[in-house]
Amino acid sequence: MTEALWTADEIAAATSGTATGDFAASGVAFDSREVAPGHLFLALKGEATDGHLFLDRAFAAGAAGAVVSQPIEQPHVLVADTTAALNDLGRASRARSAARICGVTGSVGKTGTKEALFAALDRSAPGEAHRSVKSYNNHTGVPLSLARMPREARFGVFEMGMNHAGELAALTRLVRPHVAIVTAIAPAHREFFASDEEIADAKGEIFQGLEEGGVALVPFDSAHRDRLIAAARPHAARILTFGFGDGADIRAKDVVGAPGGGSLVTAMLPDASLTFTIAQHGEHWVSNALAVLGAVEALGGDLAAAGLAFADMPGLKGRGERHRVAAIGGEALLIDESYNANPVSMAATLKTFGAEKVSGRRIAVLGAMRELGASSEDFHVALAEPIVAAKVDLAILVGPEMAPLAKALGRQIKMAHVPDAASAIELVQDEFGPGDAILVKGSNSIGLATLVEALASGKR
């Protein structure tokens, strides 16, 4: 029988709190909508709301107990500060665990890499790998993910994000990884950084938390490779590079298209080679896979199992998931990249879209890229070249930030510029037909997920 994730006494010890009522929790949540029977509910106080207001909802959903900063009638652990208690619980989970841990960060690709690494480790040790769900990668998501790690886990994979300097340094010291990956550096969150070099420095903070004997994985083909290596050197016992160029420690020797899409890859590692299929489309997924192989080997996982996992890995919602949607007279392909966008990921996705085999038209619904600061206009204008190169037949640009791109494209291709996602839904529904491929990509705040849902549901 699986041991309880947390007992009331363990929670009290970890948080320096006082337990009232004897309970055992099988999970942890701070969103009452995610509470399942047997879970611990943490009543966090945020800027917008107070978790204490949702205690009744959490217990109605079956919560076994709660962490609170004011006494309640139900079983609970009373603490001075519930947010500090969340960090304490994450720290205690990490301290008691014998799992081999990997931390993943990067401007692009971190969620996909995290999911692929989890799939690879779970393939060789079913039920014994743990990872952060969704994109729980910030100052609350990381300790929550740690607190959820089963005490018997053999592997843990944690995504870490940031939009200010110093954030990753704090998160990585909570996670204390044995392996740390930086997937890629791109001008994301440029609103908060003066240069891409500053972004690289902030991402390089992940290496500061490496355990003794830890391994750092750095993108070989990045313009910031040497900067990242310098950041890793004081903390890592071993630094490995991954990429396509000669000299990379983990290198894609051969990459060809796989039947049915994706890629067939032969990868060379320092002490092994592996040929495998990646179900996901695009060169960026090959790069992600190389990082995963390096991490699997460093964590003591099974490389052959990892290769099998890549072939079976489904598309991720908002990050490449594919749908066949009904069109009058047939079907269209819908590619969902609606969760996030920055200049590098936009260009990479458009390149992959241009290589897509279609019998109809290529329709690109592109939402504005947010948090780019003073360089926003230039970054949007620069998308004109990859859009044209991808042979897009119709570009639907969404959001006011797209105005400079609309002007730059001019009459090069058929184009429409609309203010919001709702307007884009109506336009796409009127436009697409059988054999078309529809790419949907933009910053999450643009709301293009609603367009994907409308098309995937078949509502017209």
Averaged pLDDT for residues 338-353: 91
Q: Any idea which of 96-100, 105-109, 230-234 has the lowest mean pLDDT?
A: 105-109
Contacts of 154 (CB under 8 A, 6+ apart): 98, 99, 100, 121, 125, 128, 129
What is the residue-averaged pLDDT of the chain?
Answer: 94
> Whole-angstrom Cα distance, residue 146 to residue 97?
10
Alpha carbon dihedral 203, 204, 208, 213, in 10-degree steps, equals: 120
Contacts of 16 (CB under 8 A, 6+ apart): 79, 88
Helix ranges restricted to H, 30-109: 55-60, 82-96
> Whole-angstrom Cα distance, residue 131 to residue 117?
9
- Please tell me the predicted confidence (pLDDT) of residue 189: 64
Reported as a single tens digit per residue, the pLDDT across 354-395 is 999 999 999 999 999 998 888 899 999 999 999 999 999 999
- Please tell me the predicted confidence (pLDDT) of residue 371: 85
Domains of the chain listed by start with CATH number: 6-81 (3.40.1390.10), 97-312 (3.40.1190.10), 321-456 (3.90.190.20)
Q: Any idea which of 233-242, 311-320, 414-423 has the lowest mean pLDDT?
A: 311-320
The first and second tokens of residue 155, run together, are: 């592997």
Residue ranges of E strands in 168-249: 179-182, 215-219, 238-243
- Please tell me the predicted confidence (pLDDT) of residue 260: 74
What percent of the chain lies above the pLDDT cut of 90?
82
Count of Cβ atoms closer than 10 Å to residue 50 Cβ:
14
Helix (H) or strand (E) holding 306: helix 303-312
Count of Cβ atoms closer than 10 Å to residue 329 Cβ:
8
Kindly report the pTM of this predicted structure: 0.85
Query: Does position 2 have pLDDT exceeding 70, yes or no?
Result: no
> Whole-angstrom Cα distance, residue 131 to residue 212?
22
Shortest CA distance to 102 belongs to which of 2, 212, 210?
210
Query: Does position 459 have pLDDT exceeding 70, yes or no?
Result: no
Averaged pLDDT for residues 276-301: 94
Reported as a single tens digit per residue, the pLDDT across 252-275 is 999 998 887 789 999 999 999 999
Averaged pLDDT for residues 413-437: 93
Helix (H) or strand (E) holding 230: helix 225-232
Shortest CA distance to 206 belongs to which of 110, 333, 121?
110
Residue 460: band (very low, low, confident or very high) from pLDDT cuts 50, 70, 90: very low
Query: Does position 282 have pLDDT exceeding 70, yes or no?
Result: yes
Query: Does position 315 have pLDDT exceeding 80, yes or no?
Result: no
- Please tell me the predicted confidence (pLDDT) of residue 267: 97
78 — phi, psi (to 5°)? -90, 125
Q: How far is CA 376 from the centre of its chain?
A: 23
Q: Is 390 left (phi over 0), alpha (psi -120 to 50) or beta?
A: alpha
Averaged pLDDT for residues 24-31: 97
Reported as a single tens digit per residue, the pLDDT across 150-202 is 999 999 999 999 988 999 999 999 999 999 999 999 887 667 788 999 999 99
